[in-house]
Amino acid sequence: MRTGDVVDGRYQLEDARGSGSGGIVWTAFDRKLKRTVALKRPHTTASQADRLQFRQEAEIAAQVHHPHAISVFDTVDGDECWLVMEYSPAENLDTIVARTGPLPAQRVARVGVQIAAALAALHAKRIVHRDVKPGNILLDDQDFAKITDFGISIWRQVTQTDDGSFAGTPAYAAPEVASGRPATAASDVFSLGATLFAAVEGVPPFGTGEPADVLRKVRAGEMLPMRHAGRLAPVLSSMLAPEPGKRPTADEVQQRLQDIAGDWVASVPPARASTSNRPFWSRPRFQVITAVALVLSVGLTVFLSTDPPLPASSHAPTAGTGLVGDERTVDPCALLDRKVLDRFGPTELDPTYGNFNRCDVLVNTGGRESVDVEVQMVTRVAADVHGEPLDVIVEQPSDSGECDRTMLLDDKYAVRITASMPNPAKDLCAIADTAVHTAKDAVTRGPLPRRAVPLPADSLAQVDACPLLDDKALAALPAIDPKSALPDFGGWACKWYSPVSPTQVHLRYDQHAAKDPIPGERVQLGDHTAYIRLDIDSGTSCTVTVRHEPASQQWRSVVDLMMLTVKGDRPGDEYCTPATALATAAAAKLPR
């Protein structure tokens, strides 16, 4: 490959920035989104099996959304495997220490706080980085730190290569990894401890030299004394404990280092252009108004967790941020202001149209149908959006009947705002942008209000969606990875993905007028009435809708629905059988 060559018809190579044991990194210009990215490919040609593994692990890496961890944008897995990543001209910690010598303990603590936070986020997703070292930590001139180098683990699936030679970075490897055992979250903590040791002492804890000699010292625990660590010494000693079970977690490391770093907070770098991290087959075309900074990495990447999947309870919604609070009590209607939208025509508020995270205002613009102005509260991880609070992402309209916006509320949440109407007589984007302004006003006033009327105790609003499908149920669709479960706001939706194909499962809740018919062919799934229908628009999905009416439920004008969709790249009718099997399994777990 040479400067000027174009990868995948889109990425024009600029400069080869470096080469590590995992591959070579180039800067490239993304001709589609008009921005600079980093491209990385292996030194060797990947087989078909390697490409499948590559795609799977890149998809895992793309789930990582943290200000102190690199983002994976895309993959190119044709004749050569390329990983498309963030880019930044920041220096790595290794280069800084080599130029300046050992760093002050408090500065090292500041770096450690940020990287420990990123590792905690990775470990929460059962992702192990496997190559934490100074060369994989980037620092800008304000000491804003990012851990880099995710996604290309197909060349190093275990800690030893086929010929028995060690494939990690000996000076920063944990004893168990040096002995040939798989890396774990505790191994990452050890490697971070070794990295911080090197930053404050100027030399790795087990010295330098021939890899075999360094590995022997790691296994024997022959660590150099700490002379400059000061207040860092106790936490470094615990992180470098020979036994994995005696090391603190990344969360605990972050807390202990924060005590040393004091009140210092990393300054977020100026925003640069970004792109969506959704799986490449389902990514909408976005124009990003403002987004996160880009970073580059060069070294080896090894990160595929062998830990067991999270228990079902881990999918439950969290307490949320100070702005949103409890996801199940916050009022999404607080983000809409009917009075402001009245200038487009008479308005009507509908808080029970769609999932529980949604609120709609219907605007009568004088035609036979009204404009539906919809807000949906989502988590940024599930929506896969990046940027700073109050940034607005504009989705390029797919047709004239809909205009979409996504506004970032804070570090955890976003709101989708859509104005839609068949054959509109009004400018839908003008209405959507007005709704964005009202949402922004609501956010700047502080914590969002609670619902005036709590969601009913016997409603699906009290049921987490992800646990409704376990590994046994998902076996009805072998392409799906049960560990890929991605919950959304309130626990009211969940998606599962295939690592090797566009196939995905989407389970979510809906609210429906009790007297209105439900589209689809009526069937009986155990004790539940259900409706099966093909997606006419795409032709490649099948949806099963289950009506939820527990025996104890009082009559209401709106009933709850559980909707399960299987979609992929084949005709939709091929997905109806697995969709029905999955819906049957999920319905069996609904409260009676």
Do residues 348 and 381 lie in contact, with contact meaning Cβ atoms separated by under 8 Å? Answer: no
Neighbours of 529 (CB within 10 A): 15
**In Å, how far are 23, 101, 193, 210, 417 from 198, measured between CA atoms?**
24, 10, 9, 17, 48
Which string of DSSP letters, residue by residue, matches 437-452? HHHHHHHHTSSPPBPS
Q: Determine the distance from the C-alpha atom of residue 412 to the mean position of all C-alpha atoms in its chain, rounded to a whole number.
A: 11
Instruction: Give the CA dihedral 322, 254, 71, 266, nearest 10 degrees.
Output: 70
Instruction: Give the bridge partners for 23, in sequence order.
Output: 20
User: Helices 185-201 & 93-100, crossing angle to 10 degrees?
Assistant: 20
Interhelix angle 185-201/105-124, nearest 10 degrees: 170
**Which residue do the tokens 């490897």 mark?**
173
- Cβ 201 vs Cβ 240: under 8 Å: no
Active site residues: 131
C-beta separation of 489 from 382 below 8 A? yes
Please state whether 99 falls in left (phi above 0), alpha (psi between -120 and 50) or beta. alpha
User: Per this entry, what is the length of the chain?
Assistant: 592
In the chain, the N- to C-terminal Cα span, in Å, equals 62
Q: Please, which contacts does 108-111 make with residues 24 or more away whose CB atoms are closer than 8 Å? A: 108/196, 108/199, 108/200, 108/232, 109/196, 109/231, 109/232, 109/257, 109/258, 109/260, 109/261, 110/143, 110/145, 110/261, 110/264, 110/266, 111/137, 111/139, 111/143, 111/145, 111/196, 111/199
Task: Report helix, strand and coil shares of the chain as percent, to nearest 5.
Answer: 30, 25, 45
Task: Report the amino acid identity of residue 32.
Answer: K
Q: Inter-axis angle of helices 185-201 and 250-261, to 10 degrees?
A: 30
DSSP assignment letter at 166: B
Beta strands (DSSP E) in 368-488 are: 371-379, 392-395, 402-408, 413-420, 486-487
Task: Give CA separation, 455 vs 317, 419, 518, in Å.
Answer: 15, 26, 22
Following DSSP, what letter does each residue of 234-288 receive, concatenated? HHHHHHT-SSGGGSPPHHHHHHHHHHHHTT--PPPPPP------S-TTS---EEE
- Cβ pair 451, 459 in contact under 8 A: no
